[in-house]
Amino acid sequence: MTRKLLSIFLPLIFLLPISAASQEDRAPNVIIILTDDQGYGDVGFNGCTDIPTPNIDRIARRGVRFTNGYVSYAVCGPSRAGLITGRYQDRFGFGRNPILAPQDPNMGLPLTEETLATALDRAGYHSMVIGKWHLGAHESLHPLKRGFDEFYGFLSGGHRYFPEEWTLRDLTEIQAQFDGYRTKLMRNYDRVEESAYLTDALSREAVEFVGRNPDQPFFLYLAYNAPHGPLQATEKYLSRFAHIQNEKRRTYAAMVSAVDDGVGRLLDRLEMLGLEDDTIVFFLSDNGGPENVNGSDNGPLRGKKGDLLEGGIRVPFAVQWTGHIPSGVVYEKPVISLDIFATAVSQANAPLREDHPIDGVDLVPFLQPGNDAFPHDQLYWRKFDGKSNALVDRSGYKYLVEGKDTKPALYDLHQDIGEKDNLARKQKKKRKSLKKQYEAWSAELIDPIFMGLSQRKAYYQQMGLVRPGE
């Protein structure tokens, strides 16, 4: 072909409609299914026997199960801040669980940070968050101001499950922190009347969102409240667990089962629309289970929600992307919830801000057959108020830094998943090496920028607020 002809046809090539071949390379949809306070041992793919989770297990069976899947904090708010930004939350001062404070623009995710929805918006995604927000209740921190196009759920850190208990029309009516659990749900900025059990309502909205957006790349952040307290379930789900004698465990099981039903309906909708190969689906919990509070079970792990022991930070974690990552694989190298952001933006080819480097990595290359590289050399945790900190390195060693809540400890998680044999005295050289690595990381962090839930009475006094119900 002559140079003259090339000059005519090349511009036309770039104006042609996307071909069928290039459609196969379309940016993938991204779905994050996040449960709240679910124990490591409370899914079938981690060995649960008394609570069937066949639909959640579908994700692991058709994709990858992470045996060493972590979150970046051991309680709800900071964990979610890390997940939605792809950055260790202590880099931007989100080191505490936020107070429900709709009058305070500083009580939540700082405006200096961007969410995964904002990043994906640059790649043409349509995004929705469903369920629990917990990243700020001020109008400037609302999900629709943080990159999302749609919102259905609640702004507080928890909620009651039966709609007849949602008696407050707005956050201005709350008299105490946990009155937020009784507010009517929101659709975008408006309060709505809802008649369904909370988990079922959130599942319905997720299925409908996917059904409305089959022809464009979408991001769905489905943040279930279950099985976070209060323990409430309908007879439909309770009747499945009459064999469980412990009432707390029975109700917890019913709540997990309701989530599993919803996950099944969502996966079925993807399959019906032919979107399975075009959609990355992540499943995880926001932190470990508070076993004595909600009847959860962290399986072989020591510790619970709030701890930097494995029971507080290692969670059920799986991902599927049919045709792009292997199916039925058990992946044992440490990964973290921060990797979800990195994976999504990388696969979407969404540009990132140079001034806000993320801490996660794209997991897709690491999951390919034959790739033996480690996604991370170390993973880190800081619990500012407890003065307790932790590090897990690629070799499977975990170091707990001495603090208010912890003594120096070193565990070989490959041999001691229950953290029973403290090797700190036996392996001083290893302990000192990990301590030095932790100190280098922690030097990059900042102090919390707001008072936390446990300090709410002092916060109310400082802000001149009256909370007679506290």
Does residue 466 surpass a pLDDT of 80? no
138 is catalytic: no
* pLDDT tens, residue by residue, 406-441: 678 999 999 999 999 999 999 999 999 999 999 999
Residue 344: its H or E element: helix 338-348
Confidence of residue 116 (pLDDT cuts 50, 70, 90): very high
Residue 73 one-letter amino acid = Y
- CA distance linking residue 125 with residue 229, whole number of Å: 33
pLDDT at residue number 405: 62
Does residue 442 surpass a pLDDT of 70? yes
Rg of the chain over all Cα atoms, to the nearest angstrom: 23
- CA distance linking residue 62 with residue 85, whole number of Å: 27
Helices 247-272/54-61 angle, 10° precision: 50
Which of 126, 134, 142, 228 is labelled catalytic?
Answer: 134
243 is catalytic: no
- CA distance linking residue 230 with residue 294, whole number of Å: 8
Tokens of 174: 């709350």
> How far lies 128's CA from each of 5, 345, 406, 428, 430, in Å?
47, 16, 39, 49, 45
> How far lies 429's CA from each of 24, 391, 414, 436, in Å?
51, 15, 19, 11
* pLDDT tens, residue by residue, 235-248: 999 999 999 999 99
Does residue 74 surpass a pLDDT of 90? yes
Query: Model pTM greater than 0.85?
Result: yes
pLDDT at residue number 14: 33
- CA distance linking residue 304 with residue 290, whole number of Å: 5
Tokens of 340: 């979800």
Domains parsed from the chain with CATH numbers? 27-367 (3.40.720.10), 378-453 (3.30.1120.10)
pLDDT at residue number 404: 64
Look-up of token digits 């101001």: 145
Confidence of residue 259 (pLDDT cuts 50, 70, 90): very high
Task: Give yes or no for a contact between 123 and 349, defined as CB atoms under 8 angstroms apart.
Answer: yes
Task: Give yes or no for a contact between 47 and 301, defined as CB atoms under 8 angstroms apart.
Answer: no
Look-up of token digits 């990381």: 441
Q: Is 405 exposed, middle or buried (0-12, 13-18, 19+ CB in 10 A)?
A: middle
Determine if the peptide bond prior to 227 is cis (ω within 30°): yes
pLDDT at residue number 15: 33
> How far lies 453's CA from each of 134, 146, 206, in Å?
12, 22, 30
pLDDT at residue number 58: 98
- CA distance linking residue 319 with residue 64, whole number of Å: 5
- CA distance linking residue 223 with residue 227, whole number of Å: 11
Q: Average pLDDT over the chain, rounded to whole? A: 93
Residue 126 one-letter amino acid = H
